[in-house]
Amino acid sequence: MVELRLLGPVELSVRGRTAEVGPPQRRAVLAALAVDTGRPVAADVLVKRVWGTDPPDGARRALHAHIARIRRLCEETGDAGDVRLRLVRRSGGYVLEARPDRVDVHRFRQLVGRARAAGRADEARAAALLREALGLWRGEPLAGLGGQWAARVREAWRRQRVDAVVGWAHLESRVGDPVTVVGPLTELLGEYPLVEPLTEALMQALHAAGRGAEALDCYATLRQRLAEELGADPGSGLREVHEAILRGDLPGPSPWPAPRVPAASAPTASPPPRPPSSTTPWPAGTPVQLPMGVRGFTGRGEELARLEEILASEADQPSAVVISAVSGTAGVGKTALAVHWAHRAQKAFPDGQLYVNLRGFDPGGSVVSPAEAVRGFLDAFGVPVSRVPAGLEAQTGLYRSLLAGRRMLVVLDNARDAEQVRPLLPGAPGCLTLVTSRRSLTGLAAAEGAHLLTVGLLGPDEARELLIGRLGADRVETEPAAVREIVGRCAGLPLALAIVAARAAAQPTLPLAALAEELRGADGRLDALDGGEAASEVRAVFSWSYRALGTDAARLFRLLGLHPGPDAALPAVAALADVPTARVRVLLAELVRGHLLTEHAPGRYTFHDLLSAYAAELVATYDSDDVRHAAAHRMLDHYLHTAHRADVLLTPRPNPAPLPPARPGAAPEGLSDHRQAQAWFTAEHPVLLSAVEQAPAAGFDEHTWRLASALTTFLDRHGYWRALTTVHTVALEAALRQGDKAGQADAHRGLGLAQDRLDRPDDARAHYLLALGLFGELGSHAGQARIHQHLSRMSEALGHHQQALGHARHSLTHHRAADDRAGQSAALNHIGWILAQLGHHDEAFAHCHQALDLAQRTGDLNGQAHIRDSLGYIHHHLGRHPQAVDCYRQAVDLFRQTGDRHSEAAGLVSLGDTHHSDGAPDAAHAAWTQALAVIGELGLPDTDPLRTELLQRLGRAAADAATPRPRARARPAQGPYPPRPAST
């Protein structure tokens, strides 16, 4: 019998004896082949797996030598009973032929899959299968092999082992003796001390074995480790187990989760939905982000079949996630293919489909960063802003935890390179990632085992089929010579063919020969747009189609080359062109009919980046500097004045800083309330971010910093702190160029706010102080008030209460000078709260009542809620429990009205504390339980102490309900961990 072992040192066993494979490099080649047993592995992929992305000059010669020696080694195995190992060369590369169950890692996955399938019906058999699977591990997988690829594969297999151990422990605890799993779990936890599912399984096993105190010790140990090493608290799953042990009602360990239907048996069938990940404390949504597919999609049968094969083979992949990278020249139809197949395969991914256009080759240079893409995916899942961590690494971890245990498709369109893609890859089985790029992403193949698929130009038959799909068979078959010429002049590029077909469809009586003649007469090339051969052949198509437009539509197409992208709404296009909305809608429809523009969502337009570059080239060639500058000025005025209006609606201010008048034709949108402002920012902020980046190059420095200023509140409240850093860095450079102190002050404030949110207090304070000095030079009381407000909250968070009090009083002084009553109310309440922390309750009470009077006059419901909360705290600490209960109830009601769920939960905790202190345990338990329900809906960050403190209260109350005693008070929403300072 022949066995190939990778779950330890790389070994080949023949009839029970270990064969000599050779040096580490040869063992690496063998492993690189074995992970894809039965599938061809290209020589380039092997080189990168063994020697890395920068291989030495002799790597390919060394590979061929190792391949020859491995082939001889395989031949020497002979017919070892039931299997023979063979290494053969095929068109797609080298194939190691062997039965998968004779390669230990494949055998391991087969056994785990069978255990999943048997889990619910036969848990004893499932446990036995997992024991057998885990027995295949002989130490560190791929031991002795270096390099990035080996490290990545090794880490993926380790995660699979941990998952199998956790599943086995749960099953063994249910059907066998829970004591038997304590030792293995403890040993593995020594290797992975921060893996929460291991601790959870160990706690359940210890509890089932009657060792509850040890289970609680496990929780305490992990909680301390997480706090010290990551600054985080345990996840919700572990906290629920801990709470249940405290209450004494922990159920038995959950059985193995429902098995996933292997894609190989039913590539487009709907597998049973998986339960949400236990680490997700809120009900994650099911994102369905795929754009609309192309009408009349034809051809690409070979490529679609290959994608189906990749999906079908997904269950046997060695890596954590399957990746297919589709590459090809611009306009070849990569996106159309990916989206078409994604819609076909939708049923195989019932947990959702994510999509992002990474804009890797955008003519304007506005490439989507991994941080932006991950943040967009978290929004698609419905993650509350309060639950989004600050750093990219932490956000990526949260994103991957959301994908864990789910069947999801992730489409990463138009990627620039592998580095842009890697942070967006899921980290667990069950998901498939489809990447498109103009470049062949061989790095993904080498390091992540991606399947590479190149999309070529359409052949004559496929191009003809595309025209038949758009124009009908009768028309195409009537003029074969004209069709051949059209196909040839379009160079087999689907984008060009679609444009020609659109023109022909619009003129059904026009002979195709006439169209071919027009193409023949069109001149010029597209060399400036792209280096691809196909692109250099289709400028004739673009220029011909452009010349077919009416005068106004042609002008609009050129001017759209000035737009920053990624898309444009109807009002902004009207401002750019200085054309009434009704007229511009007609012109846009003409461009859409000609396939020069796409209406990808109602009222929002975009075009292919080749066409965008072509439009930019045309506007630079045919329109004067004055015309271009005026159009860009109108467009930026439209965005700036609308953004300024939206910002004022989000954060009411008595005298917002005036803007220079908008140019005629800018036509800012007439937003009227908070909801409209929020919706506008949500739709337009990607455009505004691009505009901030591109405006300086066009000479619009003042628009740059003013747009950044108008974006601050929205970006802050939605957790886009890296974007906040980027726009204010650009804004500061623009303001410095202009010598504009107001712009510099505002940019420093924005950078301070961003650094504050990203937990960089020293940098934040430095920017705040620079802003404070500049606002002082300008005599801006409103600016100084806001900076002191930020500094006060920073000081309070660090426990410097006297310093915080000084800043709060300065903020009040400046708010009064600015005649900002809402600002005065907030400052008075903050002063009152700090005084209450210092024990000066009577003085605090007076300040909070002044604050309440101002908040009621201005109709600020959220401000009234926070003030009621502060008054409740003061009454509670003065022993006035009935008054405290009344204040807290009013605060909770107001928080509920304004949608401030975090503060609502904190207010309920404080209400429960007051009831408990007043000797009303039932009322206290009811308030705490309500708070827990709100927290479950909201999903607080793991670092937020409110959840932990609340669970401790409930646990102690359940353990000793009959003996009420004083409890430590939960800190309310404006307590030692106040809410983030408002961007006022």
> Taking 90 as the threshold, does the pLDDT of residue 695 lie above it?
yes
3-class DSSP state for residue 82? coil
Q: Is the pLDDT of residue 261 over 70?
A: no
Q: What would the two tokens of residue 271 be?
A: 């597998």
Distance CA 865, CA 888 (A): 9
Assign 577 a pLDDT band (cuts: 50, 70, 90).
Answer: very high
pLDDT of residue 363: 64
Strands across the sheet with 568-569, in order? 568-569, 604-606, 598-601
pLDDT of residue 81 exceeding 70, the answer is no
Unique residue bearing structure tokens 């195409």: 476
Of 79-93, 176-190, 720-734, least confident by mean pLDDT is 79-93
Contact of 722 with 656, CB cutoff 8 Å: no
- In this prediction, residue 278 carries a pLDDT of 32
Q: What value, to the nearest 5°, has the Cα angle with vertex 230 and ends 226 and 236?
A: 50
Long-range contacts of 588-591 (CB under 8 A, 24+ apart): 588/556, 590/549, 590/550, 590/553, 591/549, 591/553, 591/556, 591/557
Instruction: Tell me what pLDDT residue 843 has.
Output: 94
Give me the chain's average pLDDT, please.
82
pLDDT of residue 730: 96
Backbone angles phi, psi at 598, to 5 degrees: -125, 130
Cα dihedral 801, 804, 805, 810, rounded to 10, equals 170
Pairing type for strands 11-14 and 2-5 reads antiparallel
pLDDT score for 35:
86
Compute the distance between CA of residue 748 and CA of residue 115 in angstroms, rounded to an integer: 58
DSSP string computed for 454-509 = E--PPPHHHHHHHHHHHH-HHHHHH-HHHHHHHHHHTTT-HHHHHHHHHHHHH-TT
- 983 falls in which pLDDT band (50, 70, 90)? very low
Position of tokens 């029970």? 16
In this prediction, residue 544 has a pLDDT band, given cuts at 50, 70 and 90, of: low
Each residue's pLDDT tens digit, 730-786: 999 999 999 999 999 999 999 999 998 888 889 999 999 999 999 999 999 999 999
Q: Nearest CA to 899 among 927, 939, 862?
A: 862
**Residue 712's closest CA among 673, 743, 671, 734?**
743
* pTM of the model as a whole: 0.58
Give the burial class of 658: count Cβ atoms within 10 A of its Cβ; 0-12 exposed, 13-18 middle, 19 or more buried. exposed
Angle CA 225–227–231, to nearest 5: 130
- Cα–Cα distance for residue pair 304/308, rounded to 1 Å: 6
Could you tell me if residue 335 is left (phi over 0), alpha (psi between -120 and 50 degrees) or otherwise beta?
Answer: alpha
Least confident of 23-27, 384-388, 845-849: 384-388
Q: What is the pLDDT of residue 934?
A: 77
- In eight-state DSSP terms, residue 864 is H
pLDDT band at 109 (very low <50, low <70, confident <90, very high): confident
pLDDT band at 230; cut points 50, 70, 90: low
Higher-scoring residue by pLDDT: 593, 816: 816
The two structure tokens encoding residue 432: 């498939």
Is the pLDDT at 671 greater than 50, yes or no? yes
pLDDT confidence bin for 962, thresholds 50/70/90: very low
- pLDDT tens digit string along 141-198? 998 888 888 888 888 788 888 888 888 888 888 777 788 888 888 888 888 888 888 8
Predicted confidence band of residue 960 (pLDDT cuts 50, 70, 90): low
Q: For residue range 439-493, list pLDDT tens digits in order.
A: 778 888 877 778 888 887 788 888 898 898 889 899 999 999 999 988 887 777 8
What are the pLDDT digits (tens) for 506-523? 888 989 999 888 777 654
Question: What 3-state DSSP class applies to 610?
Answer: helix
Task: Count CA atoms within 13 Å of residue 809 on its CB side.
Answer: 9
Has residue 535 got a pLDDT over 50? no
Give the model confidence (pLDDT) of 875-908 as tens digits: 999 999 999 999 999 999 988 876 667 778 889 9
Residue 569: pLDDT band by 50, 70, 90 thresholds? Answer: very high
Q: For 290-300, what is each residue's pLDDT tens digit? A: 887 776 677 78
Geometric angle at alpha carbon 703, from 762 and 774, rounded to 5°: 40
pLDDT computed for residue 656 by the predictor: 65
So what's the pLDDT on residue 266?
30
How far apart are alpha carbons 745 and 776 in whole angstroms? Answer: 10
Contact at 8 Å (CB) between 157 and 105?
A: yes
Residues of the chain above pLDDT 90, percent: 32
Q: At residue 974, what is the residue type?
A: Q
pLDDT for res 914: 93
Rounded Cα distance, 677 and 655, in Å: 18
Rounded-to-integer distance, Cα 399 and Cα 404, Å: 9
At 721 the pLDDT is: 85
The pLDDT of residue 831 is above 70? yes
Residues 757 and 766 sit within 8 Å (Cβ to Cβ): no
Q: Which of 352-361, 851-860, 935-944 has the lowest mean pLDDT?
A: 935-944
Q: First-to-last CA distance in the chain? A: 74
The H-assigned helical ranges of 257-351 are 301-312, 334-344
Whose CA is closest to 493, among 600, 333, 303? 333
Confidence of residue 380 (pLDDT cuts 50, 70, 90): confident
Check residues 974 and 356 and name the one with the higher pLDDT: 356
H/E stretch holding 581 reads helix 581-593
Does 275 score more than 80 pLDDT? no
Question: Who contacts 670 (Cβ-Cβ below 8 Å, separation ≥6)?
Answer: 645
Q: In this structure, are residues 525 and 539 in contact, taking their beta carbons and an 8 Å threshold?
A: yes
Q: CB under 8 Å to 193, separation ≥6 — which residues?
A: 222, 225
| pLDDT surpassing 60 at residue 83 | no
- List the helix and strand counts (H, then E) for the chain: 41, 13
Residue 855 has pLDDT above 80, yes or no: yes
Answer yes or no: is pLDDT of 255 > 60: no
